[in-house]
């Protein structure tokens, strides 16, 4: 049985077998805590993931020993901080297999990445009457930026419908294209339904119309291997905090040819080459899109998180989480009057449900009293809730550190709450 703390052996990945769960859980101190005198069962990983020691220690270490502002500093610390920051960009590049670090823009998260693109792409390429395609299962952060753009520029938004299992209707998608379609922006994995969308096919269809594609990868990058070159996506967005990294850091990947063609999103330091009162020239990629002091402590910690995930292996993670989600689905389905929302053939580790007419908020609050952390509400996907005919759901979302035992607690907890109504 492998019991070694992964941080001490990150170059030597854990064997993926009996006992690996225990060893991994030991790397996440928060998982050992209790709430209301009960062991914490953390099943809100789609909202944010917990952080391994190596990530938290990286933040402490850099503030204690390396802290200095990055880029253009002549002194030792600044150069060291810059090296760490740029090494993190390389770590991200490798993680998603981008061609070049020029294609990796650091942002505050998925939301900012999408807003950046909506603004810059909108400025450069969209005019009144042009169209953007999104889908019914988008998070608000892949709806509202397009609505803001629509209000600013008179752009139309077209929406791909879904079936009752929570899958995109690809034939309907094909019919949405017109000569005015300028961009497709789609979620890779739904944060409510867990559906894994067929991105390669979606991209191929869009490219056949010479339309570029942005993918919201907030819920995919932590759970399934993503290769942006293989998917041939034009843009890809994700957040560090959902992949065991710190809050406040995210990534926008963009093919160099596209990023080159786009104007800056924000102005300030870092993103310029020369400034006079008459004219400013912009910095090269990716700095053109990174105005102001970046969160260089956060980028180093993100690289640590990716190192941790690499040590376990995303294939192992995907396999384990798939098994755990299938087990949870079976257990939950045995509960009287429990309805699951999202039964796509290809599904990630999210289960949204309701039991009878018990309000999702009541279910979540009472599960919390048993030490079980789930999310309730519309999950920032109100149009999807309308499609499903509900106001909200309860959502349990799993990570590789969750166990079958925790799933059993969840199932027993739901039954206990149900009996109270
Ligand atoms: N897109 C999806 C699918 C999400 O699940 C989330 C967060 O839950 C976001 C976007 C927004 O991510 P962030 O708040 O980290 O910017």
Q: Once rounded to an integer, what is the mean pLDDT over residues 280-284?
A: 93
Cα–Cα dist 150/293, whole Å: 31
Structure tokens at 86: 């740029």
How many A from CA of 397 to the centre of ligand 1? Answer: 14
Q: Answer yes or no: is the C-beta of 49 below 6 A from any ligand 1 atom.
A: no
Distance CA 88, CA 97 (A): 14
pLDDT in tens, 194-235: 999 999 999 999 999 999 999 999 999 999 999 999 999 999
Q: How far is the CA of 238 from the centre of ligand 1 (A)?
A: 8
* Other Cβ atoms closer than 10 A to 306: 22
Of 352, 353, 350, the closest CA to residue 321 belongs to 350
Strands 235-239 and 213-216: parallel
Q: How far is the CA of 237 from the centre of ligand 1 (A)?
A: 10
Decide: 191 in ligand 1 pocket, CB within 6 A.
yes
pLDDT digits (tens, 9 = 90+) for 35-69: 999 999 999 999 999 999 999 999 999 999 999 99
pTM of the model as a whole: 0.95
Tell me which residue of 277, 295, 384, 352 sits closest to 105, measured CA to CA.
Answer: 295
Burial (CB < 10 A; 0-12, 13-18, 19+), residue 273, is exposed
**Would you state the structure tokens that stand for residue 190, as one six-digit string?**
């739904």
- Whether ligand 1 lies within 6 angstroms of the CB of 218 is answered as yes
- Measure Cα distances from 226 to 204, 259, 293, 312 in Å: 16, 20, 29, 15
**Considering only CA atoms, which residue is closest to atom 8 of ligand 1?**
47
Cα-Cα end-to-end distance for the chain: 44
E-strand ranges in 40-171 read 41-42, 104-107, 131-135, 156-160
DSSP conformational letter for 195: B
CATH of domain 57-310: 3.40.640.10
351 CA to centre of ligand 1 in angstroms: 17
Mean pLDDT of the 25-41 span? 97
Name the pLDDT band for 7 (thresholds 50, 70, 90).
very low
Residue 54, C-beta contacts closer than 8 angstroms, at least 6 positions apart = 6, 7, 10, 27, 304, 305, 307, 308
More confident residue, 124 or 15: 124
How far is 39 from 312, CA to CA, in rounded Å? 25
**Ligand 1 pocket test: which of 166, 191, 384 has the largest number of ligand atoms within 8 Å of its C-beta?**
191
Is pLDDT at 12 greater than 80 in this prediction? no
Q: Do domains 3-50+313-416 and 57-310 have the same CATH topology?
A: no
Give the mutation target among 108, 111, 215, 224 for probing the ligand 1 site: most ligand atoms within 8 A of CB: 111
97-153 residue pLDDT tens:
999 999 999 999 999 999 999 999 999 999 999 999 999 999 999 999 999 999 999
288 is written with which tokens? 């053109």
pLDDT at 10 over 80: no
Q: What is the CATH number of domain 3-50+313-416?
A: 3.90.1150.10
The yes-or-no answer on residue 38 being catalytic is no
pLDDT per residue over 345-391, tens digit each? Answer: 999 999 999 999 999 999 999 999 999 999 999 999 999 999 999 99
What string of H, E and C letters represents the secondary structure of 200-212? HHHHHHHHHCCCC
Residue 16, pLDDT above cutoff 70: no
Q: How many helices (H) and strands (E) does the chain have?
A: 14, 17
- What is the average pLDDT value for the chain, to the nearest integer? 94
Closest CA to 97 of 202, 228, 257: 228
Phi and psi for 160 in degrees, rounded to 5?
-75, 125
How many Cβ atoms sit within 10 Å of the Cβ of residue 361? 13
Residue 262 has pLDDT above 60, yes or no: yes
pLDDT digits (tens, 9 = 90+) for 296-350: 999 999 999 999 999 999 999 999 999 999 999 999 999 999 999 999 999 999 9
Residue ranges covered by each domain of the chain: 3-50+313-416, 57-310
Residue 141 Cβ inside 6 Å of ligand 1? The answer reads yes
Q: What is the predicted pLDDT for the residue at 17?
A: 54
Per-residue DSSP letter, 103: G
Pairing of strands 393-397, 350-355: antiparallel
Give the pLDDT score at 6.
Answer: 36
Within a 10 A sphere around the Cβ of 209, how many other Cβ atoms? 14
Taking only the tens place, the pLDDT of each residue in 66-95 is: 999 999 889 999 999 999 999 999 999 999
Q: How confident is the model at residue 22 (pLDDT cuts 50, 70, 90)?
A: confident
Q: Inform me whether the pLDDT recorded for 168 exceeds 80.
A: yes
């Amino acid at each position: 049985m492998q019991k070694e703390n992964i941080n001490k052996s990150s170059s030597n990945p854990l064997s993926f077998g009996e006992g690996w769960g225990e060893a991994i859980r030991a790397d996440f101190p928060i998982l050992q805590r209790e709430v209301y005198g009960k062991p914490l069962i953390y099943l809100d990983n789609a909202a944010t993931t917990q952080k391994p020691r190596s990530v938290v220690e990286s933040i402490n270490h850099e503030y204690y020993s390396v802290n200095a502002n990055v880029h253009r500093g002549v002194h030792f610390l600044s150069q060291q901080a810059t090296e760490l920051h740029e090494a993190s960009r390389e770590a991200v590049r490798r993680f998603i297999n981008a061609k070049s670090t020029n294609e990796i823009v650091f942002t505050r998260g998925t939301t900012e990445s999408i807003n950046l693109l909506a603004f810059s792409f909108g400025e450069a390429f969209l005019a009144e009457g042009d169209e953007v395609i999104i889908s019914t299962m988008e998070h608000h952060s892949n709806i509202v930026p397009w609505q803001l753009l629509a209000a600013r520029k008179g752009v139309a938004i077209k929406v791909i419908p879904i079936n009752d299992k929570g899958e995109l209707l690809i034939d309907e998608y094909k019919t949405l294209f017109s000569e005015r379609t300028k961009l497709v922006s789609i979620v890779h994995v739904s944060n409510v339904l867990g559906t894994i969308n067929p991105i390669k096919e979606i991209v191929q269809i869009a490219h056949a119309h010479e339309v570029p594609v942005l993918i919201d990868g907030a819920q995919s990058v932590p759970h399934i291997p993503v290769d942006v070159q293989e998917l041939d996506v034009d843009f890809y967005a994700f957040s560090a905090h959902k992949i065991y990294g710190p809050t406040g850091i995210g990534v926008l990947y963009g093919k160099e040819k596209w990023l080159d063609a786009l104007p800056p999103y924000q102005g300030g330091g870092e993103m310029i080459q020369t400034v006079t009162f008459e004219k400013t020239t912009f910095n090269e990629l990716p700095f053109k899109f990174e105005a102001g002091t970046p969160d260089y402590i956060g980028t180093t910690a993100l690289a640590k998180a990716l190192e941790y995930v690499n040590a376990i292996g995303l294939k192992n993670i995907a396999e384990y989480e798939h098994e755990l989600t299938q087990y949870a689905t079976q257990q939950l389905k045995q509960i009287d009057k429990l309805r699951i929302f999202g039964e796509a053939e290809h599904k990630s580790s999210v289960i949204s449900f309701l039991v009878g007419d018990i309000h999702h908020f009541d279910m979540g609050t009472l599960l919390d009293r048993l030490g079980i952390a789930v999310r309730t509400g519309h999950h920032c996907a109100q149009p999807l809730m309308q499609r499903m005919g509900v106001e909200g759901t309860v959502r349990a979302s799993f990570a590789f550190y969750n166990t079958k035992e925790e799933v059993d607690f969840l199932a027993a907890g739901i039954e206990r709450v149900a009996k109270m109504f």
